[in-house]
Chain A
Amino acid sequence: MNKDFEFTTELFDKYLNAELLPEEMKLVENRLQEDPRLMNEYNNLKMAIDAARLDGLSIEVAGIGKEYFSGSRGNKNNQSRGRIRSIGYYALRVAALLLVVAGSYLAILYATVSPEKVFADNYYPYELPASRSGSQTSDLEKFYISSQWNQVLALMEPLEDRTQKELYLGGLSAMRTAKFQYAIKLFEKLLENNQVNQEQSYQDGSEFYLALTYIKLGEYDKARTLFQLIRNDPRHAYNNQVHAMDLLKLKLLSWKK
């Protein structure tokens, strides 16, 4: 190996670790500015050091992840058993009692949860915002505003000719008339159109009401996936509408099935 290059590596390393004297630091700085080849070597060394640090951090995070996924968190917790014991016997009893209460609550919830209740707790009718002065209201919108759901649905086919707004109102009207399969068809068509056209028209509302429609049809896992998506996205328009308890209830409904 080239001796001069060995020296350069050492020198640059010391420079990067600020282990040189101030005048040496200045000298290296000047050489770097003057010589692109040296600058390139310096940059490669810097990247090598970054790579070593990144590798160390990745190994550490992977280790914690492995521990998390293997469920060894419980074992870790056991290491602090002494501390837990010092909290006292009564604390453990309280914890056990809480566990029993939580278990009982879960059992009651399991026994009483129903799709009708989950639907009713989350569903609220969508109302069209008041139209701005001068803007045209279509027949379909007029039918929707006047709660003529079947009239709205009569205007749906062919779906290819419908706007995103019309499909949305159609899906909601189908829900109002308990035509849930048709509601799914309309919402899914709307979401598909958004995919193709790279748009967001009525996306959030359709995801929310589609989830509710899935609940009505007993497709709890599909509903749960959508609710999870909505809950995970702080910017989703229905984010505040979906709660952790709803996800739990859907899980219980799925088990009951």
Chain B
Amino acid sequence: MNTGGKFSDEELMEAIQKNERKNDAIRYLYQEYFDSLSSLITYNSGSPEDAQDIFQEVIVSFVQIVQDGKFRGESSIKTFLYALARNTWLNELKRRGRMNQRNKLYEEGRDSVTIPASESFENREIRKQLLASVGRLGEDCRRILTLFYYEGLSMKEILEQTAYENDQVVRNKKYKCLKQLADLINNDKIIAENLKQIDHEQGF
């Protein structure tokens, strides 16, 4: 098991998959790959701020892909992150309507790494809208949902971190918040359009 600041590819994947020392692993990804990946963005008409945002998004995607078991190490993490960053940046340019010829060229270029379907333009749009929907919730709702679904805390543990009377009140509040978020998602036209597009592409 890795106990220092450095990780091999296998140790990185294990830390993320098992959720042990995940933050150290993410910190290591920043230290190791930010500089090289950011120049990919800045060389292709991105600003330094774009590079930071895209890198953050890439790391989030990478963690999810690893945890979902969709990255099995066919390529090195460096190569995979590079392909992921390129894909994410091209999607962002497409979103901004600033896809120039060179970017198109790179899009059709020499990528031998298979990017999971979750990283398609449509799925990225959906993710952005999902985050925007969570952002529209009140701070209390956002906190309860994150503590329960992301941190994996029990109702009792959440109660200790909030000002509710008892864990049943927290539970009810959680259901209300979840319902509120589900309604926001249900009424989001961009999500609906992109889901439709995905269905269409899959032939449904």
Contact = CB atoms under 8 A, between A and B. Distances in A.
A59 interface: yes
A151 interface: no
A48 B27 CA distance: 28
Contacts of A9: 175, 178-179, 182
Interface stretch (B7-15, B32-40, B90-98, B157-165): B32-40
Interface in B117-147: 127, 130-131, 133-135, 142, 145-146
B185 A60 contact: no
A198 B106 CA distance: 9
A51 interface: yes
B55 interface: yes
Contacts of B55: 65
A194 B105 contact: yes
A123 interface: no
B166 interface: no
Interface in B26-81: 26-27, 30-31, 34, 36-37, 39-40, 43, 52, 55-56, 59-60, 63-64, 76, 78-79
Given A55-B142, A200-B109, A232 B185 contact: no
Contacts of A60: 23, 26, 150
Given A5-B179, A195-B100, A51 B27 contact: no
A194 B142 CA distance: 48
B178 A49 contact: yes
A257 B59 CA distance: 37
Interface string A219-230: 000000100110
Contacts of B174: 13
Nearest to A65: B56
Contact of A199 (B43, B105, B181): B105
B181 A69 contact: no
B202 interface: no
A52 B60 contact: no
B149 interface: yes
A132 interface: no
Interface string A51-81: 1111111111110110111000100000000
B131 A48 contact: no
A47 B105 contact: no
B110 A235 contact: yes
B179 A234 contact: no
Interface residues of B, number: 56
Interface in A197-236: 198-200, 225, 228-229, 231-235
B181 A48 contact: yes
Interface in A20-49: 40-41, 44-45, 47-49
A232 B39 contact: yes
A64 B27 contact: yes
Interface string B176-203: 1011011101100001000000000000
A116 interface: no
A54 B132 CA distance: 11
B37 A44 contact: no
A53 B101 contact: no
Nearest to B22: A60
Contact of A54 (B111, B127, B142, B182): B127
Contacts of A194: 102, 105
Given A54-B127, A195-B105, A233-B82, A61 B134 contact: no
A159 B189 CA distance: 50
A139 interface: no
B40 A232 contact: yes
A73 B146 CA distance: 26
Contact of B145 (A1, A52, A73, A233): A52
A236 B39 CA distance: 15
B149 A57 contact: no
10 contacts: A9-B175, A40-B186, A51-B181, A52-B181, A53-B149, A55-B135, A56-B150, A59-B146, A64-B23, A234-B82
Given A44-B185, A65-B30, A235-B112, 5 more contacts: A6-B176, A65-B52, A228-B36, A232-B39, A233-B40
